[in-house]
Amino acid sequence: MQDLIQKLEEAKAWAAANQSFDHLASNDDYMSVAVALGNHVRFTMAISAASTPDPQLPGYDRAQAVTVGLFVRMYKLFDALCFHVSESHGEIATIFIRLIPEAHIRMRYLIAKGPESAADFIFVSYKSTKERLQDLLEKQNSRELLKIEERMLRHIRLQLEEADIDESELLTNTRWRHDGKTFKGLMQELRLEDWYPYPFAAQSSTVHGDWRDIRSHHVFRDGDYYKPQLVHDNVDIRYLCPVSRPCLAAVREFLAWNKADPDGFVHDVATHLDDLAARLDAHHEERCM
């Protein structure tokens, strides 16, 4: 435990020591700081996810597990982002820049709304399960199911039983929005609708692979024709610094929710790292102008 505390103290001291970035000249200079920031953020998130207010507690109930799972999802997505940035896979890294804030918004919303909203989140998560269940039941009514189909049907019903979801209720349900809201509606509830056009809507093309994404990253124009672009995009700190900030905000929100940081030690570390991320990003933007 002392080793973990020491690593967090080192992260805080590192952030506090980096007050000026005027010596940074090249992209590699900036990236060396951004990658170090990413490593500190990953460690802080991992420690936070594993923290509990009482080591004797057996775990979280199902409603709480949704919030925990979304925070862990953020950690894993950020971990994957750091890997692709380190490999200079710019167009792949961009996918995570959409997914991480999305998980953060859902986590914040559930913390604000509580267990009833978590129960609805769980239920509406089974839309695709309903579609598969309907398909298998229709086939069962018209012919004998194949062995693999029988296994799929058993597995679906076990999933529903574990989630305490009534099969008939699932089959008759037609409302699939969490608390009846679009994702933009969730953001409006949190007064974050100004963010919608940028980390969420603007990055939709990179997640789904529309023409804008293909044209920008996966083919290039040669005269009147297009050719495959097999080389990955280069990266700079804009792939790491901005998205580090919702991760660090999530650390503070998660620990305030699960009450595992009563003296605010990890909160303070996250605040120092967040301050560095903001200053480094601003310095880089000024240099790019």
118-131 per-position pLDDT tens digit: 999 999 999 999 99
100-152 per-position pLDDT tens digit: 999 999 999 999 999 999 999 999 999 999 999 999 999 999 999 999 999 99
CA distance 278 to 280: 6
The most distant pair of C-alpha atoms in the chain lies apart, rounded to whole Å, by: 73
How sure is the predictor about 289, in pLDDT bands with cuts at 50, 70 and 90?
A: low
CA distance 75 to 42: 7
State the Cα angle at 11 between 10 and 14, rounded to 5°: 80
Q: What is the pLDDT at residue 199?
A: 74
CA distance 138 to 134: 6
205-239 per-position pLDDT tens digit: 899 999 999 999 999 999 999 999 999 999 999 99
pTM value? 0.94
Instruction: Centre a 10 Å sphere on the Cβ of residue 232 and count the other Cβ atoms it contains.
Output: 15
Contact 31, 237 (CB under 8 A): yes
CA distance 266 to 40: 12
Residue 43 has pLDDT above 70, yes or no: yes
